[in-house]
């Protein structure tokens, strides 16, 4: 079995592994496996697992698969609907902070249209981020309800329970979802209670704020419990990544790691602010490492953290008496804006902290009714926006553990909420600050224009995601090595072989040690019969990644086909001994190892070592993964037992082969031969005819049926089958050679001569073909041509007794007829 895997390491490969080859999506796989495996279907505790535990997202893929199979339309529809739902929830959340009016609408529009979301929405695996955001916002909204009813309604703890459950669900969609608990704490302290840094410590000691202390304590406990359970479930070990995934993490220099990791958040913020250059992949050298303090990009880092510090100081400083509320100036809290009353911070500090809801009794029934809704100040919203921007991004900063990417646009889906709020509240603050109508209009239309530009960029970027080729071409300027390599895979699938080869070579020009690209180029060359070059690139791929089992597999196949059986045997054995520890895709590795053992068994089988072949086949069965198609392996097991005359065992494995794949043609043919041998002729004939029905264009089927007819002495039918087989597979030596043999047995010597001649031309250096051609020419009276073929066969195999005997008989006839022979 020839390995045809393409080893594409890109988002669409992630899509392939998360969906196309993920066994957890299949109905025959118990659905509970989803809760023990990572996002890609690998056991979480496996050393090569990414530790990406997202069972709810995988469950949604399984539902998609159950409804529409692998039709991408339904998957994309779900992603778009989820994005629409998240946008609606974010707009509702913005309304709580900004009140009714156009600023809330603008915040929602900005989030809906931001180009950074394209990867998360258009890329199917981005559903993890969108789904996590949905439950992130539900959790946050539940906590806001908890704050507003705390102390006034028993339902408040129902809202808190909803907060915890939604936070857990968000984390089960994607890991960063758990950060909503920290954002909720920020909301409670800095927005609902409007505390400043210097007020926090004194406040928690006041009895009237014990409810705040209890809520924050419960959030902390639940967050710690979720993180502890998550760490335990993945085996208490962090994932390991290759140096190309995160080059800075692999750097030996502390300075390089520090400068680069400090710079990356700056680059991410720039992508949010000005998403002009987007890419499907930012790994490898897409963002060059910062190796010295003299690198000019350090200025961006300084500017970023200075700005962040200033915004934090602005949000946490003691407020002025004058501020704005939903776009209207409020002095000492007396202005009412859009029906929402606002307290100044001076009044707020002199008043007891109260929730937004009070209780009253109507007709003897206690009801919770809205007493007044207090909109937070600009400073409060800035603090919350910064927390939304920063806290969900913290897991991607390499601060606590190294991550498997440099930049990932989909990771910015949740932080973009904070960004959109920050831009909106900043524009609103400027709008209120300026007095001239012209400047107000300028600020408003500038914000609207920014949203329009974002929408246009999103439309253009969606065009890049229309198909793989456009996506990879768009990424060449950012990550040329990865983009060219993946483009090569696409071009190859389109049968543009020369263009695909150029693309692979371009990828290797930028990064010469990419094992995946070296392997892909070798596979392309192998499929185009350029075997020497293919072997060269497979050797380079193995040198770059010694655990790349598929490279060993195809190397062994080429060597075996070239007759270099000892080298092939050593290659297959070495492949079979490679463990699957710390490998990103252990399932693919196990499939390649199983295929190596299968081919090693075939090699032993062809050499007549049937016991060794059986031993290797049994090892292959033990090692094969669930997704491996075993029908060929089972069939070869049956063949080996057949050669050892263990017919019951042979029949068992032939039946297993047909059970695993009911339309497996080789098993029909081999099982048919066994049935014919054991006297079940009618059953055998049905299997041969079924094989022909399954593939009427396959000459091998006619050839086996013809052999059966020949043994039944149905010579005319057998001859017809032989001719049909040779016509259909005129380039297949075995079919043509056997067809000629059958025609000779049917005494159709002229037809036999035609196909023996064709077989000799297909393998001009094969002694048996030349000897048989000589024999049929001998029988047909073409003595001089017969002599030439006998002599050529003896040159290739001088000690062949049959050829020597036939040649002596031929010379006797030629001498009697007075013909000149080569010996005279």
Q: What is the pLDDT of residues 205-235, one digit of tens each?
A: 655 578 888 899 999 999 999 999 988 887 7
CB 660 within 8 A of CB 632: no
Mean pLDDT over 295-305 rounds to: 94
For residue 329, is it within any domain? Answer: no
Give pLDDT, residue 824.
Answer: 59
Which of helix, strand or coil describes residue 330? strand
- The domain containing residue 722 runs over which residues? 696-755
Residues 221 and 106 in one domain: yes
Q: Which of 463, 479, 511 is the last residue of a domain?
A: 463
Residues 200 and 115 in one domain: yes
Q: Given a cut of 70, is residue 335 above it in pLDDT?
A: no
For residue 354, is it within any domain? Answer: no
Residues 772 and 794 in one domain: yes
CATH number of 717's domain: 1.25.40.10
Give pLDDT, residue 5.
Answer: 35
Q: Which of 725, 755, 785 is the last residue of a domain?
A: 755
Give pLDDT, residue 1.
Answer: 40
Task: Single out the residue of 519, 569, 521, 520 nearest to residue 544, CA to CA.
Answer: 519
Q: Given a cut of 70, is residue 480 above it in pLDDT?
A: yes
Mean pLDDT over 799-803 rounds to: 88
List residues bridging with 362 in a β-sheet: 365
- Sign (positive/negative) of CA torsion 36, 42, 47, 51? negative
Residues 102 and 158 in one domain: yes
Give pLDDT, residue 15.
Answer: 54
For residue 321, is it within any domain? Answer: no
Instruction: Choose the weakest-confidence range: 78-92, 167-181, 640-654, 790-804.
Output: 790-804
Q: CA angle 598-601-605, nearest 5°?
A: 135
Residues 206 and 183 in one domain: yes
Q: What is the pLDDT of residues 73-124, one digit of tens each?
A: 999 999 999 999 999 999 999 999 999 889 999 999 999 999 999 999 999 9
Distance CA 688, CA 706 (A): 9
Give pLDDT, residue 749.
Answer: 87
List the structure tokens of 293.
């303090």
Task: Single out the residue of 820, 795, 783 nearest to residue 806, CA to CA.
Answer: 783
Report phi then psi at 101, rounded to 5. 130, 180
CB 366 within 8 A of CB 354: no
Give pLDDT, residue 205.
Answer: 61
How many CA atoms does the CB half-sphere of 612 hold within 13 Å?
13
Number of domains in the chain: 3
For residue 808, is it within any domain? Answer: yes
Residues 95 and 140 in one domain: yes
Name, in order, each residue with C-beta under 8 angstroms of 243's C-beta and a sequence gap of 6 or more: 249, 250
Mean pLDDT over 29-45 rounds to: 86
For residue 479, is it within any domain? Answer: no
For residue 500, is it within any domain? Answer: no
Give pLDDT, residue 817.
Answer: 83
Does this model's pTM top 0.85? My answer is no
Residues 725 and 750 in one domain: yes
Residues 737 and 770 in one domain: no
Residues 118 and 217 in one domain: yes
Mean pLDDT over 268-297 rounds to: 92
Q: Where does residue 650 rank: exposed (0-12), middle (13-18), buried (19+ CB within 10 A)? A: buried
Residues 191 and 168 in one domain: yes
Report phi then psi at 241, rounded to 5. -130, 160
Give pLDDT, residue 571.
Answer: 95
List the structure tokens of 305.
């953290």
List the structure tokens of 748.
């159709």
pLDDT, averaged across the chain: 86
Instruction: Choose the weakest-confidence range: 88-102, 359-373, 567-581.
Output: 359-373
Percent of the chain with pLDDT over 90: 57
Helix (H) or strand (E) holding 358: strand 357-362
Distance CA 486, CA 509 (A): 14
Residues 731 and 773 in one domain: no
Q: What is the pLDDT of residues 695-713, one digit of tens each?
A: 999 888 998 999 899 888 8
Residues 747 and 777 in one domain: no
Name, in order, each residue with C-beta under 8 angstroms of 28's C-beta and a sequence gap of 6 or more: none
Distance CA 372, CA 357 (A): 7
Decide which of 197 and 705 is more confident: 705
Q: Given a cut of 50, is residue 19 above it in pLDDT?
A: yes
Query: How does DSSP classify residue 19?
Result: I
Q: Given a cut of 70, is residue 317 above it in pLDDT?
A: yes
CATH number of 801's domain: 1.25.40
List residues bridging with 325 in a β-sheet: 328
Residue with tokens 């709580």: 96
Q: Given a cut of 70, is residue 568 above it in pLDDT?
A: yes
Distance CA 49, CA 432 (A): 52
Name, in order, each residue with C-beta under 8 angstroms of 301's C-beta and a sequence gap of 6 or more: 259, 262, 263, 266
Decide which of 554 and 247 is more confident: 554
Q: Given a cut of 60, is residue 7 above it in pLDDT?
A: no
Give pLDDT, residue 128.
Answer: 95
Give pLDDT, residue 245.
Answer: 75
Decide which of 726 and 646 is more confident: 646
For residue 139, is it within any domain? Answer: yes
Q: What is the pLDDT of residues 435-469, one digit of tens each?
A: 899 999 999 999 999 999 999 999 999 999 999 99
Q: Which of 708, 737, 755 is the last residue of a domain?
A: 755
- List helix spans (H) across 404-530: 415-433, 437-464, 468-474, 480-493, 497-510, 515-527
Q: Given a cut of 80, is residue 433 above it in pLDDT?
A: yes
CB 576 within 8 A of CB 33: no
For residue 20, is it within any domain? Answer: yes
């Amino acid at each position: 079995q020839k390995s045809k895997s393409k080893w594409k390491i890109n988002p669409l490969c992630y899509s392939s592994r998360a969906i196309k080859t993920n066994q957890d999506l299949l109905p025959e796989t118990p659905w509970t496996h989803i809760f023990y495996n990572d996002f890609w279907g690998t056991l979480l505790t496996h050393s090569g697992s990414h530790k990406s535990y997202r069972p709810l997202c995988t469950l949604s893929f399984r539902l998609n698969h159950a409804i529409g199979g692998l039709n991408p339309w339904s998957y994309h529809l779900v992603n778009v609907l989820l994005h629409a739902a998240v946008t609606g929830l974010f707009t509702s959340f913005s309304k709580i902070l900004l009140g009714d009016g156009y600023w809330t609408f603008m915040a929602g529009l900005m989030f809906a249209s931001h180009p950074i979301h394209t990867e998360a929405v258009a890329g199917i695996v981005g559903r993890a981020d969108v789904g996590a955001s949905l439950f992130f916002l539900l959790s946050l909204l539940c906590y806001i309800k908890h704050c507003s009813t705390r102390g006034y309604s028993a339902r408040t703890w129902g809202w808190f329970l909803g907060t915890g459950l939604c936070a857990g669900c968000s984390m089960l969609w994607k890991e960063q979802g758990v950060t909503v608990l920290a954002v909720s704490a920020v909301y409670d302290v800095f927005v609902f209670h409007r505390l400043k840094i210097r007020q926090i410590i004194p406040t928690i000691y006041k009895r009237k704020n014990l409810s705040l202390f209890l809520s924050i304590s419960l959030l902390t406990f639940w967050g710690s419990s979720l993180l502890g359970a998550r760490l335990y479930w993945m085996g208490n070990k962090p994932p390991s990544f290759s140096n190309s995934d995160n080059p800075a993490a692999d750097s030996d220099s502390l300075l390089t790691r520090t400068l680069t990791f400090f710079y990356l958040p700056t680059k991410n913020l720039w992508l949010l602010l000005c998403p002009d250059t987007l890419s499907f992949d930012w790994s490898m050298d897409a963002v060059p490492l910062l190796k010295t303090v003299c690198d000019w990009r350090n200025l961006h880092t300084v500017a970023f953290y200075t700005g962040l510090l200033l915004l934090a100081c602005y949000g946490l400083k003691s407020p002025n008496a004058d501020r704005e509320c939903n776009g209207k100036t409020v002095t000492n809290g007396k202005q009412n804006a859009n029906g929402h009353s606002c307290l100044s911070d001076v009044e707020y500090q002199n008043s007891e902290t109260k929730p937004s809801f009070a209780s009253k009794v109507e007709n003897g029934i206690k009801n919770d009714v809205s007493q007044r809704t207090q909109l937070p100040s600009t400073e409060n919203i800035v603090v919350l926006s910064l927390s939304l921007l920063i806290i969900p991004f913290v897991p991607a900063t390499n601060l606590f553990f190294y991550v498997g990417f440099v930049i990932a646009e989909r990771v910015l889906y949740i932080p973009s909420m904070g960004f959109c709020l920050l831009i909106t509240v900043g524009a609103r603050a400027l709008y209120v600050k300026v007095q001239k109508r012209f400047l107000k209009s300028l600020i408003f239309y500038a914000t609207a224009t920014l949203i329009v530009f974002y929408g246009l960029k999103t439309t253009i970027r969606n065009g890049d995601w229309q198909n793989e080729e456009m996506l990879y071409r768009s990424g060449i300027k950012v990550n040329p090595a990865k983009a060219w390599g993946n483009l090569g895979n696409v071009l190859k699938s389109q049968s543009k072989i020369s263009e695909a080869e150029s693309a692979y070579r371009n990828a290797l020009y930028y990064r010469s040690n990419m094992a995946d690209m070296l392997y892909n180029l070798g596979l392309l060359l192998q499929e185009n019969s350029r075997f020497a070059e293919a072997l060269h690139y497979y050797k380079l791929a193995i040198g770059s990644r010694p655990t790349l089992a598929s490279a060993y597999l195809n190397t062994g196949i080429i060597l075996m086909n070239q007759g270099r059986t000892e080298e092939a045997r050593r290659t297959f054995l070495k492949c079979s001994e490679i463990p699957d520890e710390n490998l990103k895709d252990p399932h693919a590795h196990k499939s390649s190892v199983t295929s190596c053992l299968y081919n090693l068994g075939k090699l032993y089988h062809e050499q007549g070592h049937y016991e060794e072949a059986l031993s290797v086949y049994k090892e292959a069965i033990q090692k094969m993964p669930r997704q491996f198609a075993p029908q060929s392996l089972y069939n070869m097991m049956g063949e080996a037992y057949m050669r050892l005359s263990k017919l019951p065992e042979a029949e068992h494995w032939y039946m297993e082969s047909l059970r695993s794949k009911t339309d497996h043609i080789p098993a029909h043919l081999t099982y048919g031969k066994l049935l014919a041998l054991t006297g079940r002729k009618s059953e055998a004939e049905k299997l041969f005819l079924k094989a022909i029905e399954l593939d009427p264009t396959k000459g091998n089927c006619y050839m086996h049926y013809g052999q059966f007819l020949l043994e039944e002495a149905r010579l005319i039918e057998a001859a017809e089958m032989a001719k049909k087989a040779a016509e259909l597979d005129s380039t297949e030596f075995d079919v043509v050679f056997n067809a000629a043999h059958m025609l000779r047995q049917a005494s159709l010597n002229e037809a036999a001569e035609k196909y023996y001649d064709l077989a000799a031309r297909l393998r001009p250096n094969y002694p048996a073909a030349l000897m048989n051609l000589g024999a049929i020419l001998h029988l047909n009276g073409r003595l001089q041509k017969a002599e030439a073929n006998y002599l050529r066969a003896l040159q290739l195999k001088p000690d062949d007794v049959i050829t020597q005997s036939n040649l002596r008989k031929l010379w006797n006839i030629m001498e009697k007829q007075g013909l000149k022979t080569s010996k005279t």
